[in-house]
Amino acid sequence: MTRDILLVTTTPLLPTDSGGRIYTWGTTAPLADRYRYHLLATATPAERTQFEADRDRLDAEYRRVFATYAFVDRPPIPADLPRREVLRHLLFHARHGLPLMDVSYYSPLLVALARELVAAHDIDLVEVDHLQMAFVRRFLPDVPAILVNHNLESELHPFWMT
């Protein structure tokens, strides 16, 4: 039986032109014949332009590894928000028991798409790459989840263990 894994990450994985993309693609692509992966990532306007510039090739490569893939607009981080929006951001995080981080890519659209993917594909596991995406776990409480993080801050936040 092939297991379905929802991979949630901060950035499109292709092209593999940076450390995080190389790491995540390099640990996912070799397992594509053993697991059915679904990718959900945030993307900046520049990353969307990069994808569109080589759409056919990148689409074929994504489809080789992922059963489905989708990008949502990356929300601004608190440092880029007006003061009132920063307060709203922090209050939302506090209300939902999310870490009060200076970089959190919380997106209601991403949460909605994650829930749709879980329901449509009977997702067995959510793999969250990067602490900035850890909020997803709070909104999918019935699906086992793992945090894969290649940065030190994962050691600093007990949030993941609750």
As averages over each run of 10 residues, the pLDDT of the chain (162 residues) reads 96 91 93 98 97 98 98 89 88 81 83 98 96 88 89 53 48
- Backbone φ and ψ for 44, nearest 5 degrees, come out as -85, 165
Spatial distance between the Cα atoms of 116 and 121, rounded to a whole number of angstroms: 8
The pLDDT of residue 152 is: 53
The predicted-structure confidence for 22-49, as pLDDT tens digits, reads as follows 989 999 999 999 999 999 999 999 999 9
Domain that holds residue 142: 3-161
- The H-or-E segment that residue 3 falls in is strand 3-9
The pLDDT of residue 162 is: 46
Burial 50-64 (b: 16+ CB within 10 A, else e): bbeeeeeebeebbee
The CATH number given to whatever domain includes residue 38 is: 3.40.50
Domain count, the chain: 1
SS3 73: strand
